[in-house]
Amino acid sequence: MSDASYPLTRLRRTRATGWSRAMHRETVMTPADLIWPLFVTGGTGIEDPVGSLPGVSRWSVDGIAKRAKEAVALGIPCIALFPNTPHDKRSDDGAEALNPDNLMCRAIKAVRDACGSDIGILTDVALDPYTSHGQDGLLDAKGYVVNDDTVAVLVDQAVNQADAGADIIAPSDMMDGRVRAIRMALEMNAHPNVQIMAYSAKYASAFYGPFRDAVGSGGLLKGDKKSYQMDPANGDEALREIALDIAEGADSVMVKPGLAYLDVIWRAKERFGVPVFAYQVSGEYALIEAGAAAGVADREALLMEKLLSFKRAGCSGVLTYHAPVAARILNG
């Protein structure tokens, strides 16, 4: 730290002009820092707007392929897929997750056919889009989400998605030990280059409501997810979770939600030096849209300031429903 004082040092000097601000900018964001989450639904030619997420829709498989092409054109390197499984295919054991012809697998294949290797495909591994009770795992007689039996299903789900062509497996369930189990299964099933982006610090947050609407699990959820998702009061525990997932074979880790946990992102990057991603979740997205609609501030300024905060905190990238909007802004 310099000992120079005013007026020898005037920090406003470098802020006086646009070119100088650009030259001294510490944090730079490009479309390559974005991952675009997309919701898959049944049918053909379907665009089904999500009421609680203005500007976000569920797309049929053909529409998902078109969105993937759009992402490539915008310079977005990866999409993340989440299925809205029909109610008649949901069950207590989430068996539809293992169907090689389920919505997720069909969407993976459609994107691969449309875009080849020009885009990465990240897939969610958890049972909540497939269970009739809306929990991320299997339940015992008392309604408790059991760990090891759930992990066994998640392993088969991950291999099913990798067989379909997924590039990144992203377990979001928060079961203990699932990263190691999935990593070993991928190795044993000829998928050594499939990455794992672990939802390592996923909090039991109030910001997930619109997402649950989008995947059709919100009205089904019985109880809460506090026995496996993290307590928002805990930061040290997040570092333990992240350390375990790295040791078990995760290639990158995620903190979810994003904005309320910038301290966790920063600590994780400083401690481990691995790629850390943030998920700007549905509630965060919806608040930006609501604020802009209410005239609180300019929408583009709001969304870009928040995305930059993730990068400044140490993120390698951000999952955001604003990805196509942000990419267009960044592309000028």
CA distance 29 to 106: 32
* Cα distance between residue 298 and residue 316, in whole Å: 26
- The closest alpha carbon to 133, from 55, 222, 60, belongs to 222
Catalytic residue among 202, 269, 306, 311: 202
CA distance 46 to 201: 34
Catalytic site includes residue 269: no
- What is the residue type of 236? D
DSSP state of 127: S
Catalytic residue among 225, 256, 306, 311: 256
Taking the C-alpha atoms of residue 128 and residue 218, their distance in angstroms, rounded to an integer, is 10
For residues 307 and 280, is the Cβ–Cβ distance under 8 A?
Answer: yes
Q: Cis omega before residue 7 (within 30°)?
A: yes
- As a whole number of angstroms, the distance between CA 93 and CA 157 comes to 12
Please measure the distance between the N-terminal and C-terminal CA atoms of the chain and give it in whole angstroms.
36
Q: 43: which residues sit within 8 A by CB, 6+ positions away?
A: 60
Residues involved in catalysis: 202, 256
